[in-house]
């Protein structure tokens, strides 16, 4: 079987992230460049390059003898939400300083929001996380600030593995839906204070939800179940 051509480092990076997000690799577990090389049928060099990128991002960490999945703590989560709040409010400020969203952007954002509403109504909770992520990424994209977009991508990679934990608190999804609606309304009304307040309330609500979950040992059960689903 021929080895993969093209950007093998990207292939390895995506595979490692997938394993972490699916709890096939949990916090503290060793990430083996040899095993990944064999699994993906690529050389160890691009795998090591991918691992180094994820160390730089903060998803992996190097110990004296090995590379492991970095744990994510409540402090990490709080810092991520603080960064998100600052970036998203600044994004809205930039958007409104330019006259607001154009018609294409309005339709796109409303379409994402409608997808979230539909998924909540249909109990498609697996999709809610990606809907929520897309909503916030678009806000930052519309600002046109590529550095803020880059920061957003990095912290999204750091926090994606938490998505399954929200299954423990499905009632939170209704709050997310209503908070997104208030953010949109503030932007459409070109009311910075209203939009900023809605962003603050939304992110604070999400942070409190994660705090509640992680302070309850029930989250360990769902993580264990997810890990057992991966042979």
119 Cβ partners below 8 Å, 6+ apart?
A: 125, 127, 128, 131
Helix (H, G, I), strand (E, B) or coil at 98: coil
Model-level pTM? 0.84
Question: Do 27 and 70 contact (CB within 8 A), yes or no?
Answer: yes
- Tens digits of residue pLDDT in 152-211: 999 998 888 887 777 777 888 889 999 999 999 999 999 999 999 999 999 999 999 888
76 Cβ partners below 8 Å, 6+ apart?
A: 158
Residue 5: predicted pLDDT: 42
Whether 3 shows a pLDDT value over 50: the answer reads no
- Tens digits of residue pLDDT in 24-41: 998 899 999 999 999 999
Q: Predicted confidence band at 218 (pLDDT cuts at 50, 70, 90)?
A: low
Cα distance between residue 46 and residue 186, in whole Å: 45
E strands, the chain, where? 60-62, 67-69
- Domains of the chain (ranges; CATH) run 8-71 (1.10.10.10), 74-227 (1.20.120.530)
């Amino acid at each position: 079987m021929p080895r993969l051509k093209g950007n093998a480092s990207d292939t390895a990076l995506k595979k490692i992230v997938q394993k972490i997000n699916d709890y096939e690799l949990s916090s503290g577990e060793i990430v083996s460049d040899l095993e990944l090389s064999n699994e993906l049928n690529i050389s160890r060099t691009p795998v090591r390059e991918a691992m180094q990128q994820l160390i730089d991002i903060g998803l992996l960490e190097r110990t004296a003898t090995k590379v492991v999945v970095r744990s994510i703590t409540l402090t990490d989560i709080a810092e991520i939400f603080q960064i998100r709040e600052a970036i998203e409010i600044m994004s809205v400020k930039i958007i409104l300083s330019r006259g607001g969203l154009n018609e294409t952007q309005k339709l796109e954002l409303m379409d994402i929001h409608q997808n979230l509403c539909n998924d909540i109504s249909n109990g498609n909770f697996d999709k809610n996380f990606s809907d929520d992520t897309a909503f916030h990424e678009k806000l930052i994209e519309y600002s046109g600030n590529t550095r803020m977009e880059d920061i957003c991508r990095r912290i999204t990679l750091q926090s994606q593995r938490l998505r399954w934990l929200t299954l423990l608190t499905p009632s939170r999804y209704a709050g997310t839906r209503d908070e997104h609606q208030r953010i949109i309304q503030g932007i459409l009304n070109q009311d910075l204070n209203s939009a900023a307040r809605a962003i603050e309330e939304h992110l604070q609500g999400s942070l409190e939800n994660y705090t509640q979950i992680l302070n309850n040992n029930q989250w360990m059960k769902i993580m264990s179940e997810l890990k057992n689903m991966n042979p």
